[in-house]
Amino acid sequence: MKQDINRYEILEKITPLIENTAMRFGYIPIEIEFVKENHRWFLRIYLYSSEKDVTLDDCEGVTRSLSDFLDELIPVKYYLEVSSPGLERKFKSDKEFVIFKGRRASIKLKEPLEGETEKIFKGEIIDYNDTDGLTFLRFDDGQELVIPRNNIQSAKLYID
């Protein structure tokens, strides 16, 4: 028997529960995805905090706190994965520019900025807003750049 699943409706129902639980542990969920891969459903939650590292114990605690409630809200068998975003996470939404303010990032542009030839910069995220775009401190020369959002092809966290 094939069961029709509306993953968007499920995400809408479970997101507030996940956000509240993550906050109790001092984290914010920067991404929640409910996807089907190889005929199996996966609920993946990526936790972040600017004050502390995401630990295995905290991931287990969030998992235990959520699993019974999620089982009531998700009508299919699924695998729950709770983890950190990773050291070189590729940004998937604009809110990550704000979340990762002060962190090192690698930015790839669609077109070089005026007076520049390079399209890839490594540096620190200074600020982000919808009007101006990304304010970015480039490492190689210490220059502060303002990059319009529509010129950013991709961005990811960067470690030395």
Query: What are the pLDDT digits (tens) for 86-110?
Result: 878 888 888 889 988 988 999 999 9
Evaluate if residue 160 carries a pLDDT over 80. no
pLDDT at 1: 43
- CA gap 20, 43 in Å, rounded: 16
Q: Write out the CATH class of domain 7-83.
A: alpha beta
Contact 73, 10 (CB under 8 A): yes
The rounded percent of the chain whose pLDDT value lies above 70 is 98
Domain spans in the chain, listed from the N-terminal domain onward: 7-83, 95-157
Superfamily of domain 95-157: Ribosome maturation factor RimP, C-terminal domain (2.30.30.180)
pLDDT at 82: 96
pTM of the model: 0.78
